[in-house]
Homo-oligomer: A and B are copies of this chain.
Amino acid sequence: MAKRVSHRDSMCGVARPLDAIGDWWSLLIVRDAFEGLRRFGEFQKSLGLAKNILSARLRNLLAHGIMETVLAADGSPYQEYVLTEKGRGLFPLLVALRQWGEDFFFEPDEAHVLLVDRKNGLPVRRLELRAQDGRVVGAEDTMVRLPSIAPE
């Protein structure tokens, strides 16, 4: 199940999260969880994936602390799957994905769901990355650097 990393034992800051998420299904499960879905059957119906796969993905999300189980609030004897804080931390990633999708995967006139402000129903702004001084920065304005402290 875990991806083999023959190349380097400790994965980089991008690969490590990817490995924890597991695969695309997991991300869609998380998205549905943000929408309020909680039950096995709800996820299965929403995503239309095989039960064994859903089962495996949920287990993986639990194992990585992205979701956790709680006893059903409505008294039914089943458990529910909810996002942990770590899982909720994936919100910006999902927004980034959605905005990228809006930009490049829909015709201008093609209808698609919008992420809106609950308070007033207006669409949210685009995600933007800012430097310390508040400038909006793009990929070309940034670089990755090892921290001052020696790595390892």
* Number of interface residues, chain A, beta carbon within 8 A: 83
Interfacial chain B residues near A31, Cβ < 8 Å:
14
Tell me if A51 is interfacial: C-beta within 8 Å of chain B: no
Interfacial chain B residues near A47, Cβ < 8 Å:
7
Interfacial chain B residues near A20, Cβ < 8 Å:
105
Copies of this chain present: 2
Contact, CB under 8 Å: A89 / B103: yes
Tell me if A128 is interfacial: C-beta within 8 Å of chain B: yes
Contact, CB under 8 Å: A105 / B24: no
Find residues 23-39 in chain A having any chain B CB closer than 8 Å to their own CB: 23-24, 27-28, 31, 34-35
Of A14, A103, A113, A125, most B-chain CB atoms within 10 Å: A14
